[in-house]
Amino acid sequence: MTSRIETRFAQCRAQQRAALVTFIMAGDPDAAISLDILKALPKSGADLIEVGMPFSDPMADGPAIQAAGLRAMHAGMTLNGVLRQVGEFRRHDADTPIVLMGYYNPIYVHGVEKFLIEAKAAGVDGLIVVDLPPEEDEELCLPALRAGLNFIRLATPTTDDNRLPAVLANTSGFVYYVSVTGVTGASRPDYSKVATAVRRIKAHTPLPVAVGFGVKDAAAAAEIALNADAVVVGSAIIDALARTLDSDKRGGPATVAAVSKLVTELAAGVASARR
Protein backbone atom coordinates (compact mmCIF):
# COMPACT_ATOMS: atom_id res chain seq x y z
CA MET A 1 0.00 0.00 0.00
CA THR A 2 1.29 3.46 -0.90
CA SER A 3 1.84 5.62 2.16
CA ARG A 4 0.59 9.18 2.60
CA ILE A 5 4.20 10.37 2.47
CA GLU A 6 4.86 8.62 -0.86
CA THR A 7 1.59 9.90 -2.27
CA ARG A 8 2.31 13.49 -1.27
CA PHE A 9 5.81 13.50 -2.75
CA ALA A 10 4.41 12.00 -5.97
CA GLN A 11 1.83 14.80 -6.11
CA CYS A 12 4.52 17.45 -5.67
CA ARG A 13 6.69 15.86 -8.36
CA ALA A 14 3.70 15.88 -10.72
CA GLN A 15 3.35 19.61 -10.01
CA GLN A 16 7.09 20.06 -10.67
CA ARG A 17 7.80 21.59 -7.29
CA ALA A 18 9.36 20.78 -3.98
CA ALA A 19 7.22 19.99 -0.95
CA LEU A 20 6.95 22.26 2.08
CA VAL A 21 7.42 20.48 5.40
CA THR A 22 6.43 22.49 8.47
CA PHE A 23 7.30 21.79 12.10
CA ILE A 24 5.26 22.74 15.14
CA MET A 25 5.52 21.62 18.75
CA ALA A 26 2.43 19.82 20.01
CA GLY A 27 0.94 21.77 22.91
CA ASP A 28 2.67 25.08 22.16
CA PRO A 29 1.51 27.45 23.56
CA ASP A 30 -1.37 25.23 24.73
CA ALA A 31 -3.27 22.20 23.46
CA ALA A 32 -6.20 24.10 21.95
CA ILE A 33 -4.15 26.64 19.99
CA SER A 34 -1.62 24.08 18.78
CA LEU A 35 -4.48 21.96 17.45
CA ASP A 36 -5.91 25.01 15.67
CA ILE A 37 -2.48 25.65 14.13
CA LEU A 38 -2.16 22.00 13.11
CA LYS A 39 -5.52 22.14 11.33
CA ALA A 40 -4.62 25.44 9.62
CA LEU A 41 -1.26 24.31 8.22
CA PRO A 42 -2.50 22.36 5.15
CA LYS A 43 -4.80 25.23 4.16
CA SER A 44 -1.81 27.58 4.39
CA GLY A 45 0.30 25.44 2.06
CA ALA A 46 2.05 22.82 4.19
CA ASP A 47 2.45 19.55 2.29
CA LEU A 48 3.77 17.48 5.20
CA ILE A 49 3.73 18.28 8.91
CA GLU A 50 6.28 17.38 11.55
CA VAL A 51 4.79 17.44 15.05
CA GLY A 52 7.23 17.78 17.91
CA MET A 53 6.92 15.56 20.97
CA PRO A 54 7.93 17.77 23.93
CA PHE A 55 10.95 16.51 25.86
CA SER A 56 12.91 17.96 28.77
CA ASP A 57 16.38 17.46 27.25
CA PRO A 58 16.16 18.25 23.51
CA MET A 59 19.85 18.05 22.62
CA ALA A 60 19.52 18.78 18.87
CA ASP A 61 17.17 21.73 19.24
CA GLY A 62 18.07 25.38 19.30
CA PRO A 63 16.62 28.00 21.68
CA ALA A 64 13.34 28.54 19.81
CA ILE A 65 12.29 24.90 19.74
CA GLN A 66 13.61 24.30 23.26
CA ALA A 67 11.38 27.14 24.46
CA ALA A 68 8.44 25.71 22.53
CA GLY A 69 8.90 22.35 24.22
CA LEU A 70 9.04 23.97 27.65
CA ARG A 71 5.88 25.97 26.97
CA ALA A 72 4.12 22.80 25.83
CA MET A 73 5.18 20.82 28.89
CA HIS A 74 4.21 23.66 31.22
CA ALA A 75 0.80 23.66 29.53
CA GLY A 76 0.46 19.94 30.30
CA MET A 77 1.26 18.33 26.94
CA THR A 78 2.27 14.66 27.15
CA LEU A 79 2.97 11.93 24.63
CA ASN A 80 -0.62 10.74 25.04
CA GLY A 81 -1.72 14.28 24.34
CA VAL A 82 0.36 14.40 21.17
CA LEU A 83 -1.32 11.23 19.89
CA ARG A 84 -4.75 12.64 20.76
CA GLN A 85 -3.97 15.77 18.75
CA VAL A 86 -2.99 13.71 15.70
CA GLY A 87 -6.17 11.68 16.07
CA GLU A 88 -8.27 14.85 16.23
CA PHE A 89 -6.47 16.25 13.18
CA ARG A 90 -7.24 13.06 11.26
CA ARG A 91 -10.97 13.60 11.83
CA HIS A 92 -10.66 16.64 9.54
CA ASP A 93 -7.76 15.69 7.23
CA ALA A 94 -7.22 12.18 5.89
CA ASP A 95 -4.46 13.06 3.43
CA THR A 96 -1.74 15.30 4.90
CA PRO A 97 1.21 13.22 6.16
CA ILE A 98 2.07 13.59 9.84
CA VAL A 99 5.56 12.79 11.14
CA LEU A 100 6.28 12.79 14.87
CA MET A 101 9.69 14.24 15.70
CA GLY A 102 11.53 14.01 18.98
CA TYR A 103 13.60 11.82 21.24
CA TYR A 104 13.53 8.19 22.28
CA ASN A 105 13.11 8.54 26.05
CA PRO A 106 9.36 9.38 26.10
CA ILE A 107 8.68 6.54 23.63
CA TYR A 108 10.75 4.08 25.68
CA VAL A 109 8.93 5.05 28.88
CA HIS A 110 5.56 4.79 27.12
CA GLY A 111 6.49 1.34 25.76
CA VAL A 112 7.63 0.88 22.16
CA GLU A 113 4.99 -1.64 21.09
CA LYS A 114 2.19 0.30 22.76
CA PHE A 115 3.41 3.56 21.24
CA LEU A 116 3.59 2.14 17.71
CA ILE A 117 0.10 0.65 17.91
CA GLU A 118 -1.35 3.90 19.23
CA ALA A 119 0.59 6.09 16.77
CA LYS A 120 -0.60 4.04 13.81
CA ALA A 121 -4.19 4.11 15.08
CA ALA A 122 -4.03 7.90 15.56
CA GLY A 123 -2.95 8.42 11.96
CA VAL A 124 0.80 9.01 12.30
CA ASP A 125 2.74 8.28 9.11
CA GLY A 126 6.36 8.45 10.19
CA LEU A 127 8.88 9.07 12.94
CA ILE A 128 12.04 11.13 13.27
CA VAL A 129 13.87 10.19 16.46
CA VAL A 130 17.09 12.12 16.47
CA ASP A 131 18.99 10.31 19.23
CA LEU A 132 18.76 6.76 17.84
CA PRO A 133 21.66 5.99 15.48
CA PRO A 134 21.51 3.15 12.92
CA GLU A 135 23.31 0.86 15.34
CA GLU A 136 20.17 0.94 17.50
CA ASP A 137 17.68 0.09 14.72
CA GLU A 138 16.28 -2.87 16.67
CA GLU A 139 15.10 -0.47 19.39
CA LEU A 140 12.55 1.44 17.32
CA CYS A 141 13.36 1.75 13.62
CA LEU A 142 12.72 -1.86 12.61
CA PRO A 143 9.65 -2.27 14.86
CA ALA A 144 8.27 0.97 13.37
CA LEU A 145 8.78 -0.30 9.83
CA ARG A 146 7.02 -3.56 10.72
CA ALA A 147 4.13 -1.52 12.15
CA GLY A 148 3.75 0.34 8.87
CA LEU A 149 5.37 3.61 9.92
CA ASN A 150 8.13 5.31 7.97
CA PHE A 151 11.36 5.86 9.88
CA ILE A 152 13.07 8.99 8.62
CA ARG A 153 16.77 9.39 9.27
CA LEU A 154 18.89 12.54 9.36
CA ALA A 155 22.05 13.02 7.30
CA THR A 156 24.37 15.92 8.09
CA PRO A 157 27.32 17.77 6.52
CA THR A 158 29.58 15.40 8.48
CA THR A 159 27.92 12.22 7.16
CA ASP A 160 30.59 11.03 4.71
CA ASP A 161 30.29 8.39 2.00
CA ASN A 162 31.48 5.68 4.39
CA ARG A 163 28.75 6.46 6.91
CA LEU A 164 25.93 7.29 4.51
CA PRO A 165 24.98 3.66 3.57
CA ALA A 166 24.42 2.83 7.25
CA VAL A 167 22.29 5.94 7.70
CA LEU A 168 20.18 5.08 4.65
CA ALA A 169 19.90 1.32 5.20
CA ASN A 170 16.50 1.29 6.96
CA THR A 171 15.39 4.83 6.18
CA SER A 172 12.00 5.19 4.52
CA GLY A 173 9.63 7.98 3.51
CA PHE A 174 12.34 10.56 2.90
CA VAL A 175 15.83 11.51 4.01
CA TYR A 176 16.16 14.64 6.12
CA TYR A 177 19.37 16.51 5.29
CA VAL A 178 20.51 18.89 8.02
CA SER A 179 21.97 21.76 6.02
CA VAL A 180 24.17 23.26 8.73
CA THR A 181 26.33 21.85 11.48
CA GLY A 182 24.72 22.62 14.83
CA VAL A 183 21.27 22.88 16.34
CA THR A 184 17.96 23.91 14.84
CA GLY A 185 17.52 27.57 14.00
CA ALA A 186 21.21 28.02 13.24
CA SER A 187 22.67 30.37 10.62
CA ARG A 188 21.66 30.29 6.96
CA PRO A 189 22.99 27.37 4.94
CA ASP A 190 25.46 27.67 2.06
CA TYR A 191 23.13 26.95 -0.85
CA SER A 192 25.85 25.68 -3.19
CA LYS A 193 27.02 23.19 -0.58
CA VAL A 194 23.42 22.10 0.01
CA ALA A 195 22.94 21.42 -3.70
CA THR A 196 26.12 19.31 -3.78
CA ALA A 197 25.04 17.39 -0.68
CA VAL A 198 21.57 16.68 -2.10
CA ARG A 199 23.12 15.28 -5.30
CA ARG A 200 25.50 13.13 -3.25
CA ILE A 201 22.68 11.66 -1.15
CA LYS A 202 20.53 11.04 -4.23
CA ALA A 203 23.36 8.98 -5.71
CA HIS A 204 22.85 6.55 -2.80
CA THR A 205 19.03 6.40 -2.51
CA PRO A 206 15.84 6.82 -4.56
CA LEU A 207 14.13 8.43 -1.56
CA PRO A 208 13.18 12.12 -1.63
CA VAL A 209 15.65 14.41 0.13
CA ALA A 210 14.23 17.11 2.41
CA VAL A 211 16.48 19.93 3.60
CA GLY A 212 16.05 21.83 6.84
CA PHE A 213 17.80 23.81 9.61
CA GLY A 214 18.39 27.50 9.01
CA VAL A 215 15.51 28.13 6.56
CA LYS A 216 14.04 31.38 7.85
CA ASP A 217 11.94 32.94 5.09
CA ALA A 218 10.41 32.51 1.65
CA ALA A 219 13.61 33.54 -0.16
CA ALA A 220 15.64 30.90 1.65
CA ALA A 221 12.93 28.31 1.06
CA ALA A 222 12.99 29.08 -2.66
CA GLU A 223 16.78 28.65 -2.80
CA ILE A 224 16.60 25.25 -1.11
CA ALA A 225 13.63 24.19 -3.28
CA LEU A 226 15.72 24.55 -6.43
CA ASN A 227 17.55 21.32 -5.62
CA ALA A 228 15.80 19.56 -2.76
CA ASP A 229 12.63 17.48 -2.92
CA ALA A 230 11.32 19.24 0.18
CA VAL A 231 12.08 22.25 2.35
CA VAL A 232 11.69 21.88 6.12
CA VAL A 233 10.93 24.94 8.27
CA GLY A 234 10.64 24.81 12.04
CA SER A 235 12.36 27.49 14.11
CA ALA A 236 11.05 30.36 11.94
CA ILE A 237 7.49 29.11 12.48
CA ILE A 238 8.06 28.80 16.22
CA ASP A 239 9.52 32.33 16.29
CA ALA A 240 6.45 33.70 14.50
CA LEU A 241 4.24 31.97 17.07
CA ALA A 242 6.31 33.21 20.01
CA ARG A 243 6.10 36.84 18.90
CA THR A 244 2.31 36.76 19.41
CA LEU A 245 2.40 35.52 23.02
CA ASP A 246 1.60 37.76 25.95
CA SER A 247 3.77 38.17 29.06
CA ASP A 248 2.30 34.97 30.50
CA LYS A 249 3.19 33.02 27.32
CA ARG A 250 -0.46 32.78 26.32
CA GLY A 251 -1.57 32.90 22.71
CA GLY A 252 -4.77 33.74 20.90
CA PRO A 253 -6.27 34.11 17.42
CA ALA A 254 -3.26 36.20 16.38
CA THR A 255 -1.04 33.22 17.07
CA VAL A 256 -2.76 31.00 14.53
CA ALA A 257 -2.91 33.89 12.05
CA ALA A 258 0.81 34.64 12.36
CA VAL A 259 1.79 31.03 11.70
CA SER A 260 -0.64 30.74 8.80
CA LYS A 261 0.71 33.95 7.22
CA LEU A 262 4.32 32.77 7.38
CA VAL A 263 3.51 29.31 6.04
CA THR A 264 1.58 30.86 3.14
CA GLU A 265 4.64 32.97 2.31
CA LEU A 266 6.97 29.96 2.58
CA ALA A 267 4.71 27.89 0.34
CA ALA A 268 4.73 30.65 -2.27
CA GLY A 269 8.51 30.79 -2.12
CA VAL A 270 8.81 27.03 -2.62
CA ALA A 271 6.31 27.06 -5.48
CA SER A 272 8.17 29.88 -7.25
CA ALA A 273 11.55 28.13 -7.24
CA ARG A 274 11.19 26.05 -10.42
CA ARG A 275 9.00 28.32 -12.53
DSSP 77-101: --HHHHHHHHHHHHTT-SSS-EEEE
Is 160 a known active-site residue?
no
d(CA 128, CA 103): 8
- This prediction has a pTM of 0.95
What are the Cα distances from residue 224, in Å, to 33, 188, 213, 233? 30, 11, 11, 11
**Among residues 50, 118, 137, 223, which one is catalytic?**
50
pLDDT of residue 181: 60
Domain parsing of the chain, residue ranges: 4-272
AA letter at 18: A
**Residue-by-residue pLDDT tens, the chain, 275 positions:** 789 999 999 999 999 999 999 999 999 999 999 999 999 999 999 999 999 999 998 887 889 999 999 999 999 999 999 999 999 999 999 999 999 999 999 999 999 999 999 999 999 999 999 999 999 999 999 999 999 999 999 999 999 999 999 999 999 999 999 987 654 444 566 888 899 999 999 999 999 999 998 899 999 999 999 999 999 999 999 999 999 999 999 999 999 999 999 999 999 999 999 87
**Among residues 6, 28, 61, 137, which one is catalytic?**
61
pLDDT of residue 52: 98
d(CA 141, CA 149): 9
CATH homologous superfamily for the domain 4-272:
Aldolase class I (3.20.20.70)
